[in-house]
């Protein structure tokens, strides 16, 4: 099991360009959690134990062994999109 204690960078940084990428799926409600345990898409067992106040943003690099990086990947979530008509009078949105 790999234990991650810090975020080492962002996936789009040039120093990670040639690395093989393993994704660690993180849902929106798990992103602010500092501790969790998951398996990457390649089967690596990972325990995350980050300092308080850390946030698992999409693209956060959690480990770099020189050949591969483990990257937090936010899972797609359903969303509600509300559009307001331009120029409409303000009114009650919900009751």
Q: What tokens appear for 73 in the block?
A: 């990947």
Residue linked to tokens 């009078």 = 89
3-state helix, strand, coil in the chain (%, to 5): 5, 35, 60
| pLDDT score recorded for residue 84 | 77
* pLDDT per residue as tens, the chain (95 positions): 999 999 999 999 999 999 999 999 999 899 999 899 999 999 999 999 999 999 999 999 999 999 999 999 988 888 888 887 777 666 665 55
Output the pLDDT for position 49. Answer: 97
pLDDT for 89 equals 67
Q: What pLDDT score does 50 carry?
A: 95
């Amino acid at each position: 099991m790999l234990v991650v204690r810090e975020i080492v960078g962002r996936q789009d940084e040039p120093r990670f360009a040639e690395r093989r990428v393993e994704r660690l799926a993180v849902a929106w409600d798990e992103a602010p959690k500092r501790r969790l345990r998951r398996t990457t898409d390649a089967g690596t067992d990972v325990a995350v134990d980050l300092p308080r106040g850390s946030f698992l943003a999409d693209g956060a690099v959690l480990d770099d062994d020189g050949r591969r990086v483990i990257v937090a990947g936010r899972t797609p979530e359903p969303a509600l999109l509300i559009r307001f008509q331009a120029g409409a009078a303000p009114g009650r949105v919900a009751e």
